[in-house]
Amino acid sequence: MSSLAVRKAAPAAGTTPGTAQGPPQGSRIALVPTLTLLLGALYCLLPVAWVAIAATKSGRELFSTFTFLPGTGFTQNIRDLAAYREGIYWKWMGNSALYAGLGALLSTGVSAISGYALAVYRFRGRETIFSILMAGVLMPPVILAIPQYLLLAKADLTDSYASVLLPLVLSPYGVYLARIYAAAAVPGDVVEAGRMDGAGEWRIFTRVALPMMVPGLVTVFLFQFVAVWNNFLLPYIMLSDDEKFPITLGLYTLLEQGSNTPALYTLVITGALLAIVPLIALFLVIQRFWSLDLLSGAVKS
């Protein structure tokens, strides 16, 4: 037998023949972040599970001893919610879809143009503008709510759809994401090639750069849609006509009335569950865009 075979057959130093080695130390350490993530997921999903189960219970079942077992009143709760004030809940849902859809679309367009300009062009004051945008990212929206109300009140735009949409058009975080993504996804050589072919700057942006930026802009759109859909403070300050309320503010008014009419609590819980459905559907529809290649739409060699 050769010396190499003897070395292979010999047991490792510090081990007893016939006993298996334990798991590596690194795998034990990796259990800590895994368990932390699982606990975090449980913490976030438990309220959602509670709402989903509570929405299936009638008022009598809800105010009795609560258990994590489905109730028997889900369909009746939906009927009562649809019949409340001649279906104003669906009006609130439509308003939220308008605010979130149009607001996110406009914000994504402004972010795409601004982010592309900051990433591609070199001009005086570019870094200063970017620093101001970064300050806007760090600034809490509650600080801007009152000044925005005063400005729109001067323009006589309060209590209108525009009073909710206009402050949402410019998103500092959206511009930041678009700028970072454009700098990584749009090669300078492709832009220069377009210029050499005689294309104008707008044509280069729309036909060359924009298709490359689609995955990043989808992310901007999703972030803005979710932020606007969940927005409460701005509509609360701007609007007084409940026909223009988004779903967040509408459910808040229902919750306030529930203190005097406990039967409305089941409507609030059912409405909160239904308000999650559009966000889940949107995520499932547009998630395929994230799998696009970084240079999707570019001229292939």
What local confidence, expressed as pLDDT, does residue 115 receive? 92
Q: List the helix and strand counts (H, then E) for the chain.
A: 16, 0
**Both ends of the chain: CA-CA distance in Å?**
57
The average confidence (pLDDT) of the chain is 83
User: Which pTM was predicted?
Assistant: 0.80
Q: Is residue 158 part of a domain?
A: yes
**129 is a domain residue:** yes
Bigger pLDDT: 67 vs 28: 67
Query: Residue 301: pLDDT band by 50, 70, 90 thresholds?
Result: very low
293 located within any domain: no
H, E, C per residue of 21-50:
CCCCHHHHHHHHHHHHHHHHHHHHHHHHHH
With respect to residue 119, please indicate whether it lies within any of the assigned structural domains.
yes
> pLDDT (tens digit, 9 = 90+) per residue, 114-136?
999 999 988 888 889 888 888 88
Asked, for residue 16, whether it belongs to a domain, the answer is no
Write out the residue range of the structural domain in which residue 185 sits: 80-287
User: In terms of pLDDT, which residue wins out, 20 or 244?
Assistant: 244
> Based on the structure, what is the number of domains in the chain?
1
- 280 within domain boundaries: yes
User: Is 273 strand, coil or helix?
Assistant: helix
Span 77-84, average pLDDT: 90
Identify the CATH number of the domain in which residue 252 sits. Answer: 1.10.3720.10
Which tokens in the block code for residue 23? 């798991």
Where is pLDDT greater, at 175 or 285? 175
Q: Do the Cβ atoms of 17 and 11 come closer than 8 Å?
A: yes
